[in-house]
Amino acid sequence: MPYNNAPISPPEEITGTSKVPLARVKKIIAQDEDIAQCSNSAAFAISVATEIFLRYLTEQAHNVVKSERKPRRNIAYKDIATAVSRIDNLEFLSDIVPKTKTYRQYKEDKAQEDATKAAAAAVNGNRPTSSSRNIQDMMQQPQTNGSGEHMPNGHPHSPIADRTIRHSHPDPVRDLDRDVDMTG
């Protein structure tokens, strides 16, 4: 059986109902600490306004889909995010509906950000922060504690020991020799 993908046209006459459930709107309004009470007519007006806003948002996302080379029949998250980023009226949603990134884009942005921080630190003559220092730099420099004493890299309170990768689960290969006698 084919899906019914035909758009729902907005109602021409005022019916006094809303597609958004009024009880759900009242529950959401009740979550706000600043609002003590809300009348039924105010909750209904909010639900109708929400319905109109959702219709506008989906229309704009549909326009984004139609403007692509190969238009689709369905609207995806990326279409809504693109509509939010392109349309000035929806700019207030940019924090709530961010554009998605691929993992490769995220890695490239992170590497560029780290390079910018390192370049800024070099220009200012400051040493990079401890989070941006790599392990090779730390191993070449002697570690000292607060009193100026030298700390070996294996010391439990050395910065290198704090940055080692710790696994939250035991290594099964390494734990084979630690068989525990469970007989009572």
Full pLDDT tens readout for the chain, 184 residues: 566 677 777 667 777 788 888 999 999 999 999 988 899 999 999 999 999 999 999 999 999 888 888 878 888 898 899 999 999 999 999 889 888 888 898 899 999 999 999 888 888 766 555 454 555 555 555 555 555 555 554 455 544 444 444 444 454 444 444 444 455 4
List CB contacts of 57: < 8 A, sequence separation 6 or more: 80, 83, 90
> What are the sequence ranges of the domains in the chain?
22-103
Give CATH for domain 22-103: 1.10.20.10
pLDDT of residue 24: 93
pTM of the full structure: 0.51
Please write down the HEC assignment for all residues of the chain.
Answer: CCCCCCCCCCCCCCCCCCCCCHHHHHHHHHCCCCCCCCCHHHHHHHHHHHHHHHHHHHHHHHHHHHCCCCCCCCCCHHHHHHHHHHCHHHHHHCCCCCCCCCHHHHHHHHHHHHHHHHHHHHHHCCCCCCCCCCHHHHHHCCEECCCCCEECCCCCCCHHHHCCCCCCCCCCCHHHHCCCCCCC
pLDDT of residue 60: 92
